[in-house]
């Protein structure tokens, strides 16, 4: 039996799905580890007020950056071979226009923040970080084509290199130039890494002899994806807003730490899993089998890892973050387990996108966001521990419930098929 199990894992590890998952997991882990280094450097070199300004600017920038997920990558990955060049041309045009719009929007928000708050530093950081959008259109088609062709290890390496470089550059720059603008400098300095890396990984030149594909399918598909990404950002941020409004800044600080040290780290595996699953669903003629195998392997690999992280929280929290956070370790342990239903919902969401049904994913995301927010509001009067348990319980109920509703009828039928 041991030899059979070992043989199973050997065969599993040789598949593109697992290789891609391991590559993206390594990339996410490296990003989280180096981000911790950057946070420690910021905490030592900047004052709490300056760190607060940086956090505000980065929060706004991250919310806006979520809107770069407008579906063009998925449309390229899922395009029929005969239409690929046409789809790629339209995707490049749509994404270029979109990134210019986000660049101008972030500049406008920086100016509005300056007018409303009277502050100068945070708006300037926000304005400078908008420059990242100008690097994205030159590599987005190359990135999508590489993912379509199964070069997931390459795309993971490029994305990881940019994130690690940004974090390490920030830690280095802030030591010699202890100023909030060091954050923007590090982000801009690392942006060309992604652009150059993607263009070298999978060269692409627009084929002028191919007519651009119609833009309407991009708008229809992208509108649902944008709604989904907005709800995703809202779901990840709304809990903090609710806790801060109902329980005060001290409780919010403790919750913010716990959610990042627990769910934030464990959820990086869910992000990696979702990233590599979509191209495989699009390429495969046996999508139901791919999804079943992916979920089985994900649970087999990630469940013990997340359990280990939860059990180790009382040990690593005080060592990594300091003794003052030792009392938060039980909350970290609880929130680790919220990543498990997130993996199942991520797989369900990729299944729906591959089937060209992001509208159903949008409805599911809206239900999950509303259900989780309502649970936190109801639990807030009873203390932070109750809130944390409510987050776990509502996440399990909403994400698994939505996944069952979508997957149960479709894993045993052919009704929900991929539309190319």
pLDDT at 111 (0 to 100): 94
d(CA 130, CA 125): 9
pLDDT band for 256, please (50, 70, 90 cuts).
low
For the residues 186-210, what does the mean pLDDT come to?
A: 91
- Give Cα 145 to chain centroid, integer Å: 20
Assigned token pair, 378: 């109801």
Q: Do residues 86 and 18 lie in contact, with contact meaning Cβ atoms separated by under 8 Å?
A: no
Q: What is the pLDDT of residues 43-59, one digit of tens each?
A: 677 776 676 677 667 77
Asked whether the predicted pLDDT for residue 269 surpasses 60, the reply is yes
Give the pLDDT confidence score for residue 27 in this predicted structure: 78
Give the domain ranges of the chain.
16-214, 220-420
pTM for the complete prediction?
A: 0.70
Neighbours of 330 (CB within 10 A): 16
Q: Token pair of 16, please?
A: 């593109």
**CA 132/CA 123 separation, integer angstroms:** 15
Give the long-range contacts of residues 395-399, CB within 8 A, separation 24 or more. 395/338, 395/341, 395/342, 395/368, 396/338, 396/340, 396/341, 397/371, 398/341, 398/367, 398/368, 398/371, 398/372, 399/341, 399/342, 399/344, 399/345, 399/368
Structure tokens at 80: 């029929």
Residue 262's pLDDT is 72
């Amino acid at each position: 039996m041991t030899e059979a199990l070992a043989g199973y894992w050997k065969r599993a590890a040789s598949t593109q799905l697992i290789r891609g998952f391991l590559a993206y997991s390594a990339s996410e882990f490296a990003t989280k580890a180096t981000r911790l280094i950057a946070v420690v450097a910021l905490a030592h070199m900047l004052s709490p007020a300056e760190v607060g300004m940086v956090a505000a600017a980065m929060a706004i920038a991250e919310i806006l950056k979520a809107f770069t997920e407008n579906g063009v990558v998925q449309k390229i990955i899922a395009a029929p071979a005969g239409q690929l060049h046409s789809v790629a041309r339209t995707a490049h045009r749509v994404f270029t226009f979109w990134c210019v719009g986000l660049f101008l929007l972030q500049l406008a928000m920086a100016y509005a923040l300056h007018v409303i708050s009277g502050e100068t530093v945070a708006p300037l950081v926000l304005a400078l970080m908008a420059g990242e959008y100008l690097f994205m259109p030159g590599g987005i088609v190359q990135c999508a084509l590489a993912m379509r062709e199964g070069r997931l290890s390459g795309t993971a390496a490029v994305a990881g290199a940019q994130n690690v470089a940004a974090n390490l550059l920030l830690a280095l720059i802030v030591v010699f130039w202890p100023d909030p603008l060091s954050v923007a400098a590090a982000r801009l300095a690392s942006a060309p890494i992604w652009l150059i890396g993607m263009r070298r990984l999978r060269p692409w030149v627009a084929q002028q002899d191919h007519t651009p594909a119609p833009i309407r399918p991009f708008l229809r598909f992208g509108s649902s994806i944008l709604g989904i990404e907005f709800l995703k950002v809202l779901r990840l941020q709304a809990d903090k807003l609710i806790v801060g409004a109902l329980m005060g800044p001290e409780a919010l600080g403790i919750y913010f730490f716990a959610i990042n040290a627990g769910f934030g780290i464990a959820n990086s595996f869910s992000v990696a899993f979702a990233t590599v699953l979509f191209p495989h669903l699009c390429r495969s003629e046996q999508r139901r089998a791919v999804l079943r195998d992916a979920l089985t392997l994900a649970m087999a690999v990630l469940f013990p890892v997340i359990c280990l992280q939860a059990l180790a929280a009382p040990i690593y929290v005080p060592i990594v973050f300091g003794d003052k956070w030792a009392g938060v370790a039980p909350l970290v342990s609880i929130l680790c387990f919220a990543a498990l239903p997130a993996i199942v919902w991520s797989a369900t969401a990729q299944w729906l996108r591959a089937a060209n049904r992001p509208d159903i994913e949008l409805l599911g995301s809206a239900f999950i966001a509303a259900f989780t927010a309502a649970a936190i509001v109801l639990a807030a009067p009873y203390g932070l521990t109750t809130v944390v348990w409510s987050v776990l319980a509502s996440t399990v109920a909403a994400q698994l419930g939505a996944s069952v509703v979508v997957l149960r009828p479709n894993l045993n039928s052919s009704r929900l098929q991929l539309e190319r």
